[in-house]
Structures are given as C-alpha cells and as structure tokens.
Amino acid sequence: MRFADLAAVYERLEATPKRLEMRAILAELLRPLRGPELEEVVYLSQGVLRPEYEGVELGVADSLARRAVAAASGAEEAEVGRRTKASGDLGRTTEELLRGVRRLDATTPLEVRGVYAELRAIAGAQGEGSQEEKVRILTEMLRRASPLEARFLVRFVVGTLRVGVREMTILDALTVAFADGSKEARAKVEGAFNLSSDLGRVATAVAADGLDGLAGIGLEVGRPVRPMLAEREPTLAEVLARMDGTAAVEYKYDGLRVQAHLPVSGPPRLFSRRLEEIGAQFPDLLEALPRALRVRPAIVEGECVPIDPDTDEIQPFQEVAHRRGRKHDLDRVREEIPVSLFLFDVLLAGDTPTYGLDFPARRAKLEAIVRPSERIRLATQKVVTDAASATAFLDEAIAAGGEGLVAKSLAPGSSYRAGARGFWWIKYKRDYTTGLTDSIDGVVVGGFHGRGRRAGRFGAFLLAVYDPDRDRFPTFCKVGSGFDDAQLAEMPKRLAPFAADATPPGVETGVAPDAWFRPGLVLEIRGAELTLSPVHRAGLGAVREGAGFALRFPRFTGRFRDDKGPTDATTTGELLTMYRGQIRQEAPKGDEERPA
C-alpha cells in the first residue's frame, strides 16, 4: 500500500468527528490488508510502532523533528519554530513549507511498509550519534514525501498523530471489516484485545480467519493482560446495594499494581498497570515469586507496597517510588525498604486459565496455589453482608496502612473482566463522607514561571483531567504547592519530552500558561474541595452552564504517577462523582451505615 493512500485516509478521518463514519473509513482501509502490512497499518493508526507493552519509542523530541523539517524544506529552524507556534501544529507547518519545494525523488513513491521500516530504524537508533541518525532518516523520508504525507509523518513522529483513532474505534472497524459488525462480534474482538493487549495481533488473526481466528488468542505468559478496573460509590451502603447485599471486601493497598507472569521455567516477568515491564526494579519479588507459587505457568495479580523491615508495617507509597531509576544501589534499597506483594487475583494457574471463573472460585484457587511468605502475601479479605461490618473492615484496613477497601462481587458473572471498569469491583477510600480527601490524578499541560525563591524555573503547573467520551484534556487546577526543591528541579527534565509550541491538541482551558506540554506526565494531587470555575473546562456544563470544575487549595502529594498514562488520569466523570460525593457529606452521620 502507498503511504499517500494512508495519508489520504488520515485526512478524511481527521475531517469527521462522527464515530460511525470513522469506523466505515477505517474498515474500508483495513479490509484489503493482511499479515504484516495490516499489523503495521494498525499500529501506525494507533500512533505506535509496536503494542505499547513492548515499550518501543521513537525518541524524537519536537526540536529534533524541527531540525529535520528545516533540512528537508530549506527553511531556517527558527522559521520552522515561529510558524509552528502560530499554527500550533508542526505537521501542518511542514506541509505548508514543503508545498513550495520540489521533491527530491517524486518518482518512487513512499510505501507504507517502507515508511514503517524507516520509523523502526529511527526507534532503533540508540546511543552516541543516534540523534543525528534519527534526524537523517526523518529528513530523507520528508524529502521523498508529498506535503500531505509529510503532515502525518511528522505528526506521527512527534506523537500527535491524533486522527482520533483510539483503540475502541479500531476494534469497531475490525469488527465491520472482518466480521458481521454485530455487538456479539465486537465483544469477541474486544475480548481478544483485552487478553493480548496487542491490536496488530488481533487484526491479523481476525483478518485471516474471521471470528474463528480469535480463538487462537488466549492468555500468553509474558504478554500482559489489560487490567480489570474498579468503579466507585460514595457510601458503603451504596457499595453493598450494588452487590445485592453481599460482597468480599479487601484492603485497598496503596502501591503499585503488579501483574506477575511465571513461565514454566526461567524468571518471572512483572508488568505495571500500564503494561510496562517493571521486573528490573523488584529483584526481591522475582526471587520470591517462584518459591511462593505452587504451580507453573501462572499469572497472578497484586499490589506491591513498601514494608518497614523493623515493624512489618506498610509504609507510604513514596518509598517504593524511590526504586525507580536507582539501578546501582538497588541492593541497599531492597534492604532498607523491602516490598511485599499482596496478591488479589489469579488469571492462570498451571495450564488452566482461571480468568473466566467467578471471583469466589478465583480466590479459592489463589489461596490454594500460594504459599504465603514475607515477600508474597494474600490480600486481606472478608465477606460482609451489612454496611456496619463493611465500615468496621474499612477502619481496620486503614489502621493497617491501607487507603480504603475494594469490594468485590461474588455473584455469578463475576469473572475477571480484562480491560473493563465496572461495578464488579468497587473502590472506596477513606473519608469520602468528610470532604474531598480522595486524590486526583492530573496530567500536566502547562507550566508557569516561578517567582522569588523559585525564579528561573517553573513554580506551578496547569493540570488537566481526561474526558474519555470526547478524548480531550480539560484543565481543572493550577498547582504549585507540595513540591520539594528536588522535585521542582526535576520537573523540566520530566516534562521535556512533552514540550509543545502552542496549545497541544485536545487540551481545553481558559488559562494561559507560560509553557505548554502535551499530556504525558501524571501527578497525584489532593485538595480541599471541588468548586465551579469560569476558566477551567473539566466537566464544563455538567453542573452549571459555562462552568467547569476547579480544585480548591490543590497540593502535589509528592507522588509522580509514572504508572499512569495521560488517559489513565482521573476522568471528568470521576470529578462529577466526587463533586456529588461532597454534597453527601451533609447527610446526617450514620447514613452510610443504613442497612443495604
């Protein structure tokens, strides 16, 4: 397939906001494709080169891309920068600049497979001289590209492809292109994706053999499963009502979610909630897991938290965060701040997948296969049937260092719902009923120059939440407190990969920061309460026309949510729930203990 044809499709996709139309355009694009070419088109359309869990990154910052654009178009780099600032889109600017330029080689058109291979080469360039190599490859491609091709090529490279093709839309299109487009077919396609976390793989399977082809996509040790997620309810009585009066409640450990894959032989592999491989940070768990599990292969899930070696008490999460990036003195850290993994689920035990079992059967299986040890333990659990016992359990969980509880349905149908947020699991954190003590995960989209002691660096940041329905990042606060000097000093480096010249695509705000950032870095924030704001756009109009949500007295908790991507940030829907939850606190005390 010609790359020009793909670019033309992206242009059409960009022009339509309608999901159905997008689905049709994409289905038409994918239908004739098979094998590696199909896989590559699917990844490219997602804006990635490989399934995200493989962590293949292009590593091209905006500044490098500008250099290539300048070289290919003959414009000065400063000119490229100026124009990009005005257009807000390096892709468009490239397109315009190339329009007046005679193409070096217009006779051999770019092919999708060739472009993909070159992009892989860009990603593969590592170490000394790699920056030059990346620029060189990109420049050469741009010299051969038409202006329209260049628009999308550049956008892909700087990570703002944004033709609006989200995973869910691609799943829709695959269902239409290679199956009958029905709801049932869609559920099967999505199910295969949730188990494999690999859209390219799902695409080639369904293209080759229709829905039957998906049967071959099961759990695979070493390939992360998209995690099951929890909903929330404002009171424990409502939590229980959702679960028809009976639920298993478990401590909600505040740490890092870990999905551990144990192959038949060889070391375990650990994946984060974002499906990133994190085993290197936890040699102690890699050592302890094989001894603690009675069967192989196995896939188990739990929360990893720091433990005080003297008191055996759970420590604040920040202690685990210290393990990031500290490769050389990991040995010392693991002695000073050991971690324990509190297991709460099992997806595969021996050769039998268990994710399809109802929760009581999975828990029984987990208990049967785990030999608890200091490092590997089971999540504390109890079955409750009334709100008073649930409240007592909550107090116990918090006293033990948890941040709340997770209630789990025991009902038929309570299988492990990979990739889904639903009421089969409901999280309930402390103090929902006494003010806004629940934290918010906000994504940085802007920075403000500091003053006084903070002069010369950023002193505050503009934060957004995620609106999944519209795929936008509306802002909700400006936060400057809670950062210590070291954290403030490292912010520019953390934000550098996301630097943007103008309001990044998808960001919505009435505030003008000194610098813009594409959504990427997620911070955990606490605040006193949610109020309505004329300048912030989160949940615009949800409560009152023209008003969005704003967080009063926001404060960084000190926790970088590196385990969350921008679309894992708190959602506008969650803000609305929290906003309503605050109003509930005015209900008479004891209301939450009303029998379900």
Site for ligand AMP, rule CB under 6 A: 230, 250-253, 257, 273, 303, 344, 379, 406, 427
Cβ closest to ligand AMP, residue 67 vs residue 363: 363
Smallest gap from Cβ 507 to ligand AMP, in A, equals 23
Identity (one letter) of the amino acid at 155?
Answer: R
Smallest gap from Cβ 306 to ligand AMP, in A, equals 14
Burial of 42 (0-12, 13-18, 19+ CB in 10 A): buried
Cβ closest to ligand AMP, residue 30 vs residue 522: 522
Entry field: residues in the chain: 596
Q: Which of 134, 252, 408, 478 is catalytic?
A: 252
Smallest gap from Cβ 273 to ligand AMP, in A, equals 6
User: Looking up tokens 């629940």, which residue turns up?
Assistant: 438
Q: Are 526 and 439 in contact, with CB atoms under 8 Å apart?
A: yes
Smallest gap from Cβ 430 to ligand AMP, in A, equals 12
Which residues, 6+ apart, have CB-to-CB distance to 429 below 8 Å?
252, 403, 404, 437, 438
From residue 191, alpha-carbon distances to 129, 185, 414, 419, 499 in Å are: 43, 10, 15, 9, 36
CA–CA distance, 155 with 145 (Å, rounded to integer): 13
Hey, CA dihedral for 461, 466, 472, 476, is it positive or negative? negative
Cβ closest to ligand AMP, residue 219 vs residue 230: 230
CA–CA distance, 494 with 480 (Å, rounded to integer): 16
Smallest gap from Cβ 35 to ligand AMP, in A, equals 36
Active site residue 564: no
Identity (one letter) of the amino acid at 321?
Answer: A
Cβ closest to ligand AMP, residue 226 vs residue 334: 226
Smallest gap from Cβ 370 to ligand AMP, in A, equals 14
The residue whose Cβ lies closest to ligand AMP is 257
Cβ closest to ligand AMP, residue 162 vs residue 274: 274
Strands 458-464 and 499-500 turn out to be unpaired
SS3 377: strand
Smallest gap from Cβ 69 to ligand AMP, in A, equals 40
Closest alpha carbon to 243 in 584, 591, 596 = 596
Q: Are 432 and 438 in contact, with CB atoms under 8 Å apart?
A: yes
Cβ closest to ligand AMP, residue 302 vs residue 447: 302
Cβ closest to ligand AMP, residue 475 vs residue 570: 570
Burial of 170 (0-12, 13-18, 19+ CB in 10 A): buried
Cβ closest to ligand AMP, residue 23 vs residue 526: 526
Which residues, 6+ apart, have CB-to-CB distance to 192 below 8 Å?
202, 205, 206, 214, 217
Q: Provide the 8-state DSSP code for 64.
A: H
Smallest gap from Cβ 329 to ligand AMP, in A, equals 26
Q: Are 499 and 517 in contact, with CB atoms under 8 Å apart?
A: yes
Cβ closest to ligand AMP, residue 14 vs residue 562: 562
Cβ closest to ligand AMP, residue 393 vs residue 473: 393
How far from chain centre, in Å, is Cα 241? 30
Cβ closest to ligand AMP, residue 4 vs residue 420: 420
Q: Are 366 and 359 in contact, with CB atoms under 8 Å apart?
A: no
Q: What count of Cα atoms within 13 Å lies in the side-chain half-sphere of residue 49?
A: 22
Identity (one letter) of the amino acid at 263?
Answer: P
Secondary-structure breakdown of the chain: helix, strand, coil percentages, each rounded to the nearest 5:
40, 20, 35
Q: Helix/strand/coil (H, E, C) string of 200-265?
A: HHHHHHHHHHHHHHHHHCCCCCCCCCCCCEEEECCCHHHHHHHCCCCEEEEEECCCEEEEEEECCC
Q: Provide the 8-state DSSP code for 423.
A: E
Partners of 352 in beta bridges: 349
CA–CA distance, 38 with 6 (Å, rounded to integer): 12
Smallest gap from Cβ 143 to ligand AMP, in A, equals 46
Smallest gap from Cβ 414 to ligand AMP, in A, equals 13
Smallest gap from Cβ 186 to ligand AMP, in A, equals 25
Catalytic residue list: 252
